[in-house]
Structures are given as C-alpha cells and as structure tokens.
C-alpha cells in the first residue's frame, strides 16, 4: 500500500510520524473517511467541506484547498490501483515540545492511506445487523470529527464482545447515533426519523445524501431525537456511514425490529443510492 505522509507518497509500511506529533500525544487532530466505489470517489466535495470545518473548529490551518486535496486523493487511488475501498485522511496540529497549549504557526501533519475493504455488497444489507445500545460516553463536541476516539474504541469492543455489528449510543433515554454511523428509525406511518444536527452528533455525509434521496422519493423526514423505546417499536431501523453506505437493523439488544427482515423503506433508499452513485463519472 502506498500512503501520502507529510508531503510524499511512500510505502505505508515504511511511513513514520515523529513521537512528538500532537496527534500521537494528545489526539490533537481530525480525520475523514471517504468511500471509493467502482472507481468513484463518493461525496468527495462534502467530505472535504466537513474536513475544512473540523479543522477550523479546532484552529488548525487547512493545509490544502479542496482541488489540491482531490488531486492527492486521485493520485493515491492511481498509485494503489484503488477502485473499491476507503481513503483515510488525517490532519494533526503538528510536531512540538509536549505541552497542552499550542503555539501558532505549527505545520500540520497530513496522512492519507487507502483501505481495500469493499464498501458495497455487504451481506448485512440482506440479513440485517445486530445492534446493542450503550451509554454515549463521548465529549460534547461530537460534531467535530476528532481522532480522539476512546469512547468509540470502547463501544466497538463491547460490540465485538457481544457478537453484534454496531452500537447505538444513548444519552438518557435518547439515541444519539451509532458508534461510527448515523441512526434512523421508520415509524408505522412511514416517516423516517433521525436525530437533528447539533454538537451531539457528527453531521454524516451519507446522512445528507440519504435524506436528499428520501425527500426526492416523497418520504417524510423528521429530524429530531428519538428514544430507545421508539426504536424498539419502530417498523424499520437502519444506519448509514461512508464505510457501510446503509445497513438495515435486524435486532436491537436482542429485540427484533419489524419482522427482522430489511424493510421496504431501507431497500428502496439503498437501491436509489446505488443507482445514483453508478450514474456518477469515475474519478
Ligand atoms: N457518526 C459517527 C460517530 C461516525 O463516526 C460516522 C462515520 N464517520 C458517522 C456518524 C457517519 O458519517 P459519514 O456518513 O460521513 O461516514
């Protein structure tokens, strides 16, 4: 695998970052994950816009303009022969003597590497996923795509211990979002409910695209918090992320959702998403 590390394309196995990088010492950085499907760089523009926003929120200068980012991504795809997988981007504040407060003028560290796992054709789109709920232990700025991910590491470990596929995290009675995905339920009336954007959740790029498709198909979208009890009573539930597109939920904490099968709303949105995607040109 070829990575882009601090300005150069190098074999990932040989890539190194200084120990004094603030990303290593403090998790002082942000990241993005963009899918590549059949040679298409999926939702590149909004992913780069969210990267720019995350950087601005924590006062790290954006090292590249959007067209420069895209050029690096395309070169990374070319050098790796990447047609199906993920591009991981990380930007940290840079290298400095260890101290919590930072000086101005540090040079941000930029890292990109590919992952070759296929994004589409997940068997879970047919079988549905097993979800566990657990308390959302993250900070109060979940809208920033921070590399400080201890709460998610702990949540995903609990998921794997439980033999489940994803965790939906709760604050009080309410579900905030998945450990690495946006959560949705469908009511008996056919409305699609997902939490409204706020510092409590990451503004999902796949969420943006799925909601646009859902509106175009005449579905009613209600952006509001929903409770675990509402989710258990839902006729359908599903989640979205760049790395999974969309996955239907079979069970939550062992309780079947609907008839446990991928529901019609999920199937319609997923098919529409894949059709729209294949209409796009290759990168
Ligand atoms: N919420 C969280 C906490 C996530 O980590 C992710 C995945 N990056 C998402 C939502 C989904 O966002 P996106 O659709 O942009 O991948």
Rounded to two decimals, the ipTM of the complex is 0.99
Position 281 pLDDT exceeds 90:
no
Q: What CATH number has the domain bearing residue 223?
A: 3.20.10.10
Percent of the chain with pLDDT over 90: 96
Q: Which domain holds residue 158?
A: 124-278
Report CA dihedral (24, 27, 28, 33) to the nearest 10 degrees: 100
Of 162, 173, 222, whose CA–CA distance to 195 is shortest? 222
Q: Is 125 a pocket residue for ligand 1 (Cβ < 6 Å)?
A: no
- Cα-to-centroid distance, 97 and ligand 1 (Å): 32
CA atoms within 13 A on the CB side of 199: 5
Position 156 pLDDT exceeds 90:
yes
Mutate to test the pocket of ligand 1, among 145, 171, 196, 204 (most ligand atoms within 8 A of CB): 204
Is residue 151 included in any domain, yes or no? yes
Is residue 254 included in any domain, yes or no? yes
- Cα-to-centroid distance, 34 and ligand 1 (Å): 10
Is residue 231 included in any domain, yes or no? yes
Position 121 pLDDT exceeds 90:
no
Q: Is 177 a pocket residue for ligand 1 (Cβ < 6 Å)?
A: yes
- Mean pLDDT (the chain, rounded): 97
3-state SS assignment for residue 62:
coil
Position 161 pLDDT exceeds 90:
yes
Is residue 239 included in any domain, yes or no? yes
3-state SS assignment for residue 88:
strand
Task: State whether 7 and 101 are in the same domain.
Answer: yes
**Helix boundaries (H) for the chain:** 22-26, 44-57, 66-80, 124-127, 150-161, 205-216, 228-233, 264-278
Q: How many domains does the chain have?
A: 2
pTM of the model: 0.97
Ligand 1 atom index nearest CA of 205: 15
Is residue 283 included in any domain, yes or no? no
Percent of the chain with pLDDT over 70: 100
In this predicted model, which residue has the larger pLDDT, 118 or 168? 168
Q: Whose structure tokens read 């930072």?
A: 102
Cα dihedral across residues 141, 145, 150, 153: positive or negative? positive
């Amino acid at each position: 695998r070829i990575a882009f590390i601090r300005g150069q394309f190098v074999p990932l196995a040989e890539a190194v970052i200084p120990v004094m990088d603030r990303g290593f010492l403090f998790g002082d950085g942000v990241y993005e994950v963009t899918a590549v499907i059949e040679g298409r760089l999926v939702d590149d523009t909004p992913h780069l816009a969210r990267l720019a926003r995350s950087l601005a929120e924590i006062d790290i200068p954006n090292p590249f303009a959007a067209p420069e980012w895209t050029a690096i991504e395309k070169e990374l795809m070319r050098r790796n022969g990447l047609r199906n997988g993920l591009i991981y981007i990380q930007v940290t504040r840079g290298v400095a003597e260890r101290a919590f407060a930072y000086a101005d003028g540090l040079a941000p560290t930029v890292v990109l590497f590919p992952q070759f796992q296929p994004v589409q054709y997940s068997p879970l789109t047919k079988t549905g996923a097993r979800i566990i709920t657990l308390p959302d232990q993250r900070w109060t700025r979940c809208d920033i795509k921070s590399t400080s991910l201890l709460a998610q590491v702990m949540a995903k470990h609990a998921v794997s211990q439980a033999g489940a596929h994803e965790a939906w995290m709760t604050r009080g009675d309410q579900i905030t979002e998945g450990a690495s995905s946006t959560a949705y339920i469908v009511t008996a009336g056919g409305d699609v409910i997902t939490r409204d954007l706020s510092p409590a959740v990451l503004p999902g790029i796949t969420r943006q695209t799925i909601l646009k498709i859902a509106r175009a198909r005449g579905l009613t979208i209600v952006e509001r918090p929903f409770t675990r009890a509402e989710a258990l009573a839902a006729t359908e539930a599903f989640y979205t992320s760049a790395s999974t597109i969309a996955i239907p939920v079979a069970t939550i904490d062992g309780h079947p959702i609907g008839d446990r099968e991928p529901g019609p709303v999920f199937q319609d949105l997923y098919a529409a998403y894949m059709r729209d995607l294949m209409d796009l040109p290759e990168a």
